[in-house]
Amino acid sequence: MALTGIMLMGFVLFHMIGNLKMYLGAEDFNHYAEFLRQLLVPIIPPTGVLWILRLGLIGAFALHIQSAYALTRINHKARPVNYKSPRDYVAVNWAARTMRWSGIIVGLFLLWHLADLTWGWANPAFVDGNPYANVVTSLSRAPIAALYILANLALGFHLYHGAWSIFQSLGSMSARFNPRHNPLRRGFAAGFAILVAGVNITFPIAVLTGVVG
Amino acid sequence: MNLTLKVWRQSGPTDPGHFETYEATDVKDEMSFLEMLDLVNENLIADGHEPITFDSDCREGICGTCGLMINGQAHGPQKGTTTCQLHMRKFHDGETVTIEPWRAAAFPVLKDLMVDRSAFDAIIQSGGFITADTGGPRDANEILIPKIAVDSAMDAAACIGCGACVAACPNGAAQLFTSAKLAHLNLLPQGQAERWKRTEDMVETMEMFFGSCTNYGECQEACPKEIPIDFIAMMNRDFLKSKLKNRKLQGQR
């Protein structure tokens, strides 16, 4: 969970940074997309590196989902008979309790996102090789923009619990054994979630308000 | 003080069980929660009914025998307190109090509010010991141990094995118990000889019975000894170190 989580966090971070090119205009954005296809050319054929990265990502997603599924199965088996009276939780926050749901929302959104902007099935005006135009036409549709915002909120909550959990699961920087570092764990999780989800949410808003497009 | 109790009654392990409502009258503020149940039981016996079965032993918060889910919280509303040390002044007149046994696959209900916690014994048996020298006793301060290590080990050793961590955990996980039992030996020089084998064996035994940690942090709030989840982080790190380098087989430090 933690190791694949770190890989996926790296992906969402660089995905967000790459998308910032949108604010520099169509030429920069499309050039960046082309650059990703041409990575390490001519040592490696075009899209070669991109496919290696994609395969790594697909693997990380598959293992992340597999561990979440296995964990859920184990944990449901560990309490087959639930409490009959309502529980009064003290520490659990909303982000932690909804990890499964936020994960499923992000996963389904990801499929939609690929269909929309990579494969182009969900985008009637899809033009292969002009990602900037595709982003603008897609996000100009208000319901689609709302979907992007919603999915990124789910991603933000997912990251908020996940980014903190990594430290705990890998056993580092805990309060007792690393008192100086402990505040960094919560801070990092909150900062990372707000940075990635926050910046991502600006994209649909920017297209809707005409800043981009 | 008069209370309405909703108590889980279950005649045996195979009985589906149900909630039964009782009136607890004349409850004094200074009574402990268990004394309040004693009072209810005396009335039940006087009326010719079967008393409520619950676990208790020392009644001074150090043995870990008692443990009830009170109003949806393990050991009730007061932080860092066992059920036997929870006083009725924490409740108010006319309140409805719901009492349930711990619920986990590894803690089957034996009767009413009493559960079988022998899964904890299995974890301890798999590695909760050190190799001691035979022969004459050694001087008390022969082995020098940094104070900070002693303090941490002592905080972990405060675990009384009541099972509140498992009961409170939405996953029914026993990470807090296992990590406390590991840390109180792994932090001290005497525990180093079997450190890696102990870590792997106890974690793997735990996984046979219990759920798995998803870092909710509910256990440390429920723990009557206020053991922090930092010990879980330490256990995870030791387990990872041991597995990565196969230290268990190599017998390395």
What percentage of chain B reaches a pLDDT higher than 90? Answer: 88
Exposure on the CB side of residue B98, measured as CA atoms within 13 A: 14
Pick the residue with more confidence: B33 or A186? B33
Interface membership of A165 toward B (CB under 8 Å)? yes
**A2 C-beta neighbours (distance < 10 Å), count:** 18
Show me where the domains of chain B are located: 3-111, 118-252
Six token digits for residue B134: 């035979």
pLDDT (tens place) for every residue of chain A, 213 residues total? 899 999 999 999 999 999 999 999 999 999 999 999 999 999 999 999 999 999 999 999 999 999 999 999 999 999 999 999 999 999 888 999 999 999 999 999 999 999 999 999 888 889 888 999 999 999 999 999 999 999 999 999 999 999 999 999 998 877 777 777 777 888 999 999 999 999 999 999 999 999 988
CA–CA gap between residue A196 and residue A27 (Å, rounded): 24
Return all residues near A97 (Cβ < 8 A) that are at least 6 apart: A89, B170, B216
Q: Report H helices in B91-225.
A: 118-125, 147-157, 164-168, 175-186, 195-209, 218-222
pLDDT score of B250: 62
Give the span between the Cα atoms of A134 and A33, in whole angstroms. Answer: 12
Q: What are phi and psi of B20, to 5 degrees?
A: -120, 140
Question: In angstroms, rounded to a whole number, what is the distance separating the alpha carbons of residues A116 and A38?
Answer: 23
Optimal mutation site among B98, B182, B214, interface A, most CBs of chain A within 10 A: B214
Which H or E run contains B158?
none
Superfamily of domain B3-111: Beta-grasp domain (3.10.20.30)
Coil/strand/helix, residue B248: helix
Collapsing DSSP to helix, strand or coil, B96 comes out as: strand
Contacts of B214 in chain A (CB under 8 A): 71, 75, 96, 99, 165
Whether residue B156 contacts residue B231, with contact meaning beta carbons closer than 8 Å, is answered with yes
> In chain A, how many domains are there?
1
Host domain of residue A57: 2-80+92-208
**How far is A62 from chain B, CA to nearest CA, in Å?**
19
Q: Which residue of B has its CA nearest to A166?
A: B215
A84 touches chain B (CB under 8 A): yes
Residue B253: the pLDDT is 52
Mutate one of A90, A98, A100 to test the B interface: name it (highest B CB count within 10 A): A90
Contact across the interface for A168 and B221, Cβ inside 8 Å: no
What pLDDT, on the 0 to 100 scale, is given for residue B135? 85
Q: What is d(CA A158, CA A99) in angstroms, rounded to the nearest whole number? A: 6
pLDDT at residue B252 in the model = 58
Q: Is a pLDDT exceeding 90 seen at residue B168?
A: yes
Please tell me the distance from the alpha carbon of residue B50 to that of residue B42, in angstroms, as a whole number. 10
Instruction: Check: CB of residue B20 under 8 Å from CB of residue A85.
Output: no
Of A88, A92, A169, nearest to B170 by CB-CB distance is A92
One-letter identity of residue A9 = M
For position B140, what pLDDT does the model report?
81
The answer to whether residue A86 is domain-embedded is no
CB contact under 8 A, A92 and B217: yes
Cβ <8 Å between A85 and B238: no
Interface predicted TM-score (ipTM): 0.90
B145 pLDDT band, cuts 50/70/90, is very high
Residues whose CB falls within 8 Å of the CB of residue A83, separated by 6 or more in sequence, listed in order = B69, B72, B100, B103
> Nearest by CB to A171, which of B155, B170, B233?
B233
Confidence category of residue B251, pLDDT binned at 50, 70, 90: low
Q: How far is B113 from chain A (nearest CA, A)?
A: 12
Q: Tell me, which fold does domain B118-252 have in CATH?
A: Fumarate Reductase Iron-sulfur Protein; Chain B, domain 2 (1.10.1060)
CA nearest B216 in A: which residue? A92
- Helices B230-245, A142-169: axis angle to 10 degrees equals 80
Chain A residue with Cα closest to B206 = A78
User: Residue A47 carries which DSSP code?
Assistant: T
In a domain, residue A213? The reply is no
Q: Give the integer Cα–Cα distance in Å for B163 and B176.
A: 9
Spatial distance between the Cα atoms of B229 and B216, rounded to a whole number of angstroms: 10
Nearest-CB residue to A91 (from B104, B218, B235): B218
Residue B68 — very low, low, confident or very high, per pLDDT cuts 50/70/90? very high
Chain B contact present for A43, CB below 8 A: no
pLDDT for the residue numbered A181: 73
> What's the whole-number average pLDDT of chain B?
94
Distance from CA of B134 to the nearest CA of A (A): 34
B153 pLDDT above the threshold of 80: yes
Q: Which residue of B has its CA nearest to A91?
A: B218
At residue A154, the pLDDT reads 97
Cβ(B217)–Cβ(B223) below 8 Å: no
Q: Which of residues 94-123 of A touch B (CB under 8 A)?
A: 96-97, 99
Write the DSSP symbol of residue B190. Answer: G
Per residue in B182-239, pLDDT (tens digit) is 999 999 999 998 899 999 999 999 999 999 999 999 999 999 999 999 999 999 999 9
Closest CA to A100 of A108, A90, A88: A108
Question: A72 CB near a chain B CB, below 8 Å?
Answer: no
Residue A103 within a domain: yes
Strands laid side by side in the B3-9 sheet = B18-24, B3-9, B96-100, B69-70, B73-74
